[in-house]
Structure 1
C-alpha cells in the first residue's frame, strides 16, 4: 500500500507550444484550456495578486503589533523566502506548464499522497485567500460609502462570527453583504474566460499601481525620520518587536506574497510557457517586493507605528494630514480596485487546481469539465465562487488569514524540495529554466518556509491538524480508489 500511496506521475518534457494550441489532453473529447496569455499578462497577474492586501490591510497591523519600523525587514525576509521558492516554481512551470501548480509538481516528484496533501493545502491558499481579501475589500468599500453618508449598517457589513480566545462568538451581524457581492461578481468574470479575466486584471492593476505611486509621491514630504527611531523596537515578548517580532511580521505579510504562485496555475493557458512562466513569476515577485518596501517605509515614517494597527492603515496615515484628504478618497478607490484584482486571481487559481486533480481522478470528474465556448473550468469556478462567498459572508478575516499563510508556506516548501528531488531522479530532462545553485537555493527555500510556518503559527496547529485529517479522509474515501494513475498501473 505504501508503494501505491507514493506513486509518482511520469514526467515528460512539454513541447514548445504556440498560441491557442492546447498541451493538456482533454477528457473524452471535451474542450481543453486555451493558450492566450503573454509574458506581460502573466507578470500583471502576479502583480494583481501580490499587491493588494499586503499594502492596504496587513502592513499596518504587522508594524503596530510585531515589527515596528522594521516591518521593512519583515518584507525583505518574506521576499527572500519567496524568491527561493519562486526560482523553484519557475523551473517547474517551464518544465511542466500545466494548471495544477504545486500539486502537479509534487505529484511528479514526491508521490500521490504528498500531492494530495499539497493540493488540499492549496485550497487554503486560494479559496480561503479569496474570502479573506473579500472581507478586507468590504471594509474599504463601506468606508468609501461612508464618506458620502451611504455606509451599510453593521449588520449587513460584518460577519456574524468572530474568533475570541480561540472560540467562535456571535458578533450581532447578519452577514457581510459587500464581501459576498464582490466574490459573486469576480467569479462571474472568471466563468466567462481567462482572456477576459486577464484584461480586467490588467486594467485593475494599472489603477492600483498609479494610486500607490501617487501615495508615495505626495506623502513622502510628510515623512518624519524620528518615527523610524528605534528602527527595531525592544522586544516585549513572543512575536512582539525585536528580532522575534520581525520574523512574526514576516509571517503575517507572507500572506501578501502568495499571488506569484497563482501565475503558475495559469501555465496551461500561457502562449509560450517555457519562456514566459519564469518571466511572469520572478518579474512580478521582484516588482512587488520593491513596492512593498517603499510603501512600508513611507507609512511608518508618516506616523508612529503604534497608530497604524487599523484595517485600513494607508487611509489612517493620510487622515493625520488634512492637506491629503483628497488623496485618502483616491487611496480608498485604489484599495477597492487592488483587492478586487487579488480576489480575481485567487478565484482563477483554485478552479484550475481542481481541474488538474479531477483529471488525475482524485476528486470528482465534474471539476475537469471545460466550458465548450469559454474554455474555462466552469463547474469548478461556480463551486469555488459559492464556497468563497459563504466563507467571506460569515467568517472573520483573522481566522481566515492565518490558515492561508500556513497552507501557502507548506506548498512553497514542498516545491523547493521537489526541484532538487527531480534533479536527482531524472537529471536528463530538458529544463528550459534551471534554478541556479540548486543545491543551495532549494534547501534554503525549504528551511525558510518551514521556519516561518513553525514559529508564528504554533497556536493554529490544532486547526491545521483538523484540516489535514479531513483532507486525508476524503482521499481515503474517494481519491485513493479513483486515482487514474493507480488504475493504469
Structure 2
C-alpha cells in the first residue's frame, strides 16, 4: 500500500463523537458540546468498505513483550482443551463409538468455523476487546457490551471448572480433598497462586503453557505404547442408542471443543497478529483434535467398557491398568498441570477482555489500568473472585451454565461476521476466509443448528439462571451510561483502537 494512501487514510480518521474526546493517555471524556460531525461506533452511513489503512500509532502496551507463535499455539490449546482430561463423561454418556466419532465430527461442525471466523475478525480488529469489538462494529456498542457481559461470565464459569477437575484427579491420592473444608481451602489456595502467575505477565503464562502442554501430553504417549498388547478394536464399536445421555454427551463435546474465539481478547498482546493469529489457530486446531482422539482411542480400546466408571479422573485408572502405579501417578500429575494451564490461559483471556472493553469506554477506566508487568490487575481480581464464588457447583452444572451463555454470545458473533461481510464485501482483510457472502452464511448454519440443540437440552435450572444473567446485562449497560453521565465513574477511550470511518475504511484511530 503506497504512502499516499496511508496519508489519506490517516487524514480521514473518524473524529470522536460529541462529548467523547480523549487523548492517548486515556484522559476522561470532555463532556462539553462541540459542533462536529461524528459517526458513533456501530453506526455507519452505508459507504462502501474499501480498504484497511495500515497505520500504526504508539501504543501504551507496546513496551510490553508480545506473544509469538509457539506460546500462542499453547495458549489456544489451553483456552480450548488442555488435553483429554474431562472427555471421560462423553464416553460414559454415549459409549466408545459415539465418543470417538463425536471428537472427529464435532470439529468439522463447530471448531473449524469458529477458528476461521476468529482468524478473520481478530486480524481485522487486532485489539484486546476481541469479539466485543466485532459485535460493536456490526451491531453497535449496546450489543457489544452484551457480548462482553455474556462471554466474560461464560469464561469465569468455565474457569471455575479447573480447580474442580484438579481436585478430582488428586483425590484418589489425597482422599481428604473429596469434600469439606480441605477441598474449599485447596480451591482458594490454588486460585490465589494461579492468579498471581497471571498478574506476573502474559509472556510467563505463554511459555508456562508450552511446558505444561508438553508435560501433560507425554504420559499419553507412554500409555499408548503400554496399551498395545491390551487393545481390542471391537471395544471401539460399542454403542447403545437407547441408553445415550444426549445432554451430557453434547455438552461435554461442546465444552471440550469450543472457545477458539477466546484468544481474540489477547490480540493486542500478539506479535504481528495479522500473520501470527491465523497460523497459531491452525496449528492449535490440529493439536487439539489429536490430543483428544488418540487418548480416547487408547483408553476405550484397552479396557472393557463400563459406563459407570467413565467419569472425571478415569484416565488415571486406565493408566494404572495398562502401565502400573507409576503411569497413574504421571497421569494424575499431568492432569493437575493441565488444569493449571487451562486456568491461567482462561483468566488471561477474561481479564484482557475487560481491559479491552474499558479501552473502548464500555467499562470504567480503572479496568484499563495495567500493572508493571503489563497485566490488568482489576480484571484479574474480578475474574478470580468469580471463580471462587462458583467453585461450589458440580462439574455438569458448570458445563451446562457456561455453554448456555456461550451459545448466546456465539449467535451474536455469527451475526456480526455475516453482517460485516454483507455490508462491506470489498474490504481488504489481513486474513479472509476464502468464501463469499453466501458461503459465510452457509458456514454459520451448522454451528447455529448445534447451538439450538444445546440450548434445547439445557435443564430448566440452568436456563432460568442463565436468562436472569442475560437480563442483568441488558440493564447493566444503560446503568453504566447513567453513572458516566452523572460522573460517578470515570470512562475514557484509548487512542490506539481500530475504527470504521465514514468511508468504510479501518485504521488505528480515536473511537467514540
Q: For the structure 1 residues 218 and 263, does the alpha-carbon distance in structure 2 shift closer, same or farther, using more than 3 Å as the test?
A: farther
Q: Indicate the residue corresponding to 1:354 in structure 2.
A: 354
Q: Are 1:76 and 2:104 counterparts?
A: yes
Q: CA deviation at 1:429?
A: 2.8
1:317 to partner: Cα distance: 2.2
Equivalence for 2:70: 40
* Larger-gyration structure (1/2): 2
- Residue of 411, 417, 440 corresponding to 2:409: 411
- Between 1:210-219 and 1:349-358, the stretch displaced more is 210-219
Separation (CA, whole Å) in 1 of partners of 2:357 and 2:370: 14
Distance 2:63 2:475 in 1: 30
Query: Does the aligned pair in 2 maintain the 1:351–1:384 contact within 8 Å?
Result: yes
Q: Distance in 2 between matches of 1:109 and 1:45?
A: 27
SS at match of 1:455: helix
Residues 277 and 22 (structure 1), Cα distance of their counterparts in 2 relative to 1, 3 Å cut:
farther
Verify the 8 A CA contact 1:68 1:233 in the aligned structure 2.
no
- Per the TM alignment, residue 310 of structure 1 is displaced from its structure 2 partner at its CA by 2.0
Displacement, 1:9? 7.0
Structure 2 CA distance for aligned equivalents of residues 138 and 475 of structure 1: 37
Q: Cα gap change, 1:318/1:212 in structure 2, threshold over 3 Å: closer, same or farther?
A: closer
- 1:51-90 → structure 2 map (5 Å cutoff): 51-52=81-82, 55-57=84-86, 59-80=87-108, 81-90=110-119
The question of 1:301 aligning with 2:308 is answered no
Query: Which of 130, 154, 159 is the equivalent residue of 1:125?
Result: 154
1:436 corresponding residue in structure 2: 434
Residues 1:209 and 1:346: Cα distance change in structure 2 (over 3 Å): same
Question: Aligned partners of 1:334 and 1:463: how far apart in 2?
Answer: 34
Deviation, structure 1 residue 466: 1.0
Cα contact 1:416–1:445 (8 A) shared by 2: no
Q: Cα distance 1:152–1:44, how it changes in 2: closer, same or farther (>3 A)?
A: closer
Residue 196 of structure 1 corresponds to: 204
Instruction: Map 1:121-160; keep pairs closer than 5 Å.
Output: 121-146=150-175, 151-152=176-177, 154-158=179-183
Cα-to-partner distance string for 1:354-386 (whole Å, 9 max, x where unaligned): 111112222222111112x21111221122122
Secondary structure in 2 matching 1:362: coil
Map residues 78-477 of structure 1 onto 2, 5 A cutoff.
Answer: 78-80=106-108, 81-146=110-175, 151-152=176-177, 154-158=179-183, 176-230=184-238, 232-236=239-243, 240=244, 245=246, 249-303=249-303, 304-321=305-322, 323-371=323-371, 373-392=372-391, 394-439=392-437, 442-458=440-456, 459=459, 460-477=462-479
Post-superposition shift, 1:126?
1.5
Offset of residue 42 of structure 1: 0.9
- Inter-partner Cα distance in structure 1 for 2:221 and 2:154: 28
Q: Secondary structure at the match of 1:143?
A: coil
Structure 2: gaps (5+ residues): 1-37, 485-490, 494-509
Q: By how many angstroms is 1:422 displaced?
A: 1.2
Q: For residues 257 and 33 of structure 1, do their structure 2 counterparts lie closer, same or farther at Cα, with a shift above 3 Å needed?
A: farther
- Report the count of equivalent residues: 441
CA distance in 1, matches of 2:207, 2:237: 43
CA contact (8 A) 1:92 1:419 kept: yes
TM-score normalised by length of structure 2: 0.79
CA, structure 1 residues 90+221, in 2 after alignment: closer, same or farther (shift >3 Å)? farther
Contact 1:410-1:450 within 8 A present in 2 as well: no
CA contact (8 A) 1:208 1:334 kept: yes
C-alpha spacing 1:45/1:22, structure 2 compared with 1 (3 Å): farther
- Following superposition, the deviation at residue 261 of structure 1 comes to 2.5
| Structure 1 residue 350, shift from structure 2 partner | 0.5
Whether contact under 8 Å (2:100, 2:297) holds in the other structure is yes
CA distance in 2, matches of 1:252, 1:438: 32
Structure-2 residue corresponding to 1:173: none
Distance 2:342 2:284 in 1: 13
Q: Give me the TM-score of the superposition, normalised by structure 1.
A: 0.82
**What stretches of structure 1 of length at least 5 have no aligned partner?**
159-175
CA distance in structure 2 between the aligned counterparts of 1:412 and 1:334, rounded to whole angstroms:
31
Distance apart, 1:218 and its partner CA: 2.2
Q: Is 2:39 aligned against 1:8?
A: no
